[in-house]
Amino acid sequence: MNEMSPLARPPRERKPDWLRVKAPTSAGFAATRELMRSKSLTTVCEEAACPNIGECWSKKHATVMILGDTCTRACAFCNVKTGMPRAVDKLEPQNVADAAAQMGLQHIVVTSVDRDDLPDGGASQFVKVIQALRATTPNTTIEILTPDFRNKAQAAVESIIEAGPDVYNHNLETVPRLYPTIRPGARYYASLRLLESVKRHDPRIFTKSGVMLGLGEERLEVHQVMDDMRSAEIDFLTMGQYLQPTPRHAKVLDFVTPAAFDAYAAIARAKGFLLVASSPLTRSSYHAGDDFARLRAARAEKLAR
């Protein structure tokens, strides 16, 4: 790689300027926080210490995390606490729907912790949340970001597909070589197959997946992940910079430059994704509502050709 390459990497001693964000202070931020508290809802924005929280919450965009705040896995990149989760909250589906209605959301993103302790991995709670949203706020489009449901019956995933979310997202997170250290409880090809099965069962559902960069992956490995995703007919790829939430988590090995993110995006588009979001601060739910509108427009344009 020569020094002029857009993929050139700066030294990693200090966090680069392009990752600096303002502290959240707006009235909109406070209102979103108050609403989440009043409905006893957990958000991945807070639990994952997302850098975009100031921007997203001031625009009333939050990603709700269902099935509690405690995960049964311990991925090396993730800030969500690990342990034995509490019982599933029966009021949660309606609380999510009421919050979406109160915020007037056009698009909602719902995710969850991994619940390997539950027989269906928590799939039935996703179904109930989708049903409550459809009944309470029928014009809100629904994006779900699910666990991999590894070692659970295929019927669990099929029940979610049948509930009809508009977007089904599951993140591959990193390249297969790094799974044993970064995502030890998961299997790369199982995650790919999950997304492939969503598309096979209902091609109308947009499928979406993302990777974090900066964990030591090589450029050609990222290209291979893109090819694998296209083979599984994934519509939308997101790529963002991994940030180490605490010193106990996996180290950042590279701060990938904005130019390098643009170069990856150009390659991904050439590989045929309907939509690509790629920048240091991209997260899978960042600007999800606007991106959903773009996805729909891109599909309509493709079908018109």
Chain positions contacting ligand SF4, by CB under 6 A: 44-45, 50, 52-53, 56, 61-63, 283, 285-286
Question: Which two tokens mark 241?
Answer: 């910079």
CB of 188 vs ligand SF4, minimal distance in Å: 23
29 or 188, CB closer to ligand SF4?
Answer: 29
6 or 258, CB closer to ligand SF4?
Answer: 258
CB of 249 vs ligand SF4, minimal distance in Å: 17
Q: Is 50 annotated as a binding residue?
A: yes
Q: Is 5 annotated as a binding residue?
A: no
Q: Is 71 annotated as a binding residue?
A: yes
232 or 265, CB closer to ligand SF4?
Answer: 265
24 or 216, CB closer to ligand SF4?
Answer: 24
CB of 292 vs ligand SF4, minimal distance in Å: 13
CA atoms of 123 and 116, how far apart (whole Å):
11
The CA-to-CA distance between both ends of the chain, in Å, stands at 38
CB of 62 vs ligand SF4, minimal distance in Å: 6
- CA proximity to 40, closest of 71, 64, 72, 70: 64
Residue in this structure with the two tokens 């056009």, named with its chain if needed: 106
CA atoms of 294 and 278, how far apart (whole Å):
15
168 or 188, CB closer to ligand SF4?
Answer: 168
CA atoms of 64 and 111, how far apart (whole Å):
6
CA atoms of 134 and 258, how far apart (whole Å):
38
Q: Is 112 annotated as a binding residue?
A: no
CB of 132 vs ligand SF4, minimal distance in Å: 20
Q: Is 75 annotated as a binding residue?
A: yes
CA atoms of 71 and 68, how far apart (whole Å):
8
- CA proximity to 192, closest of 215, 214, 211, 213: 211
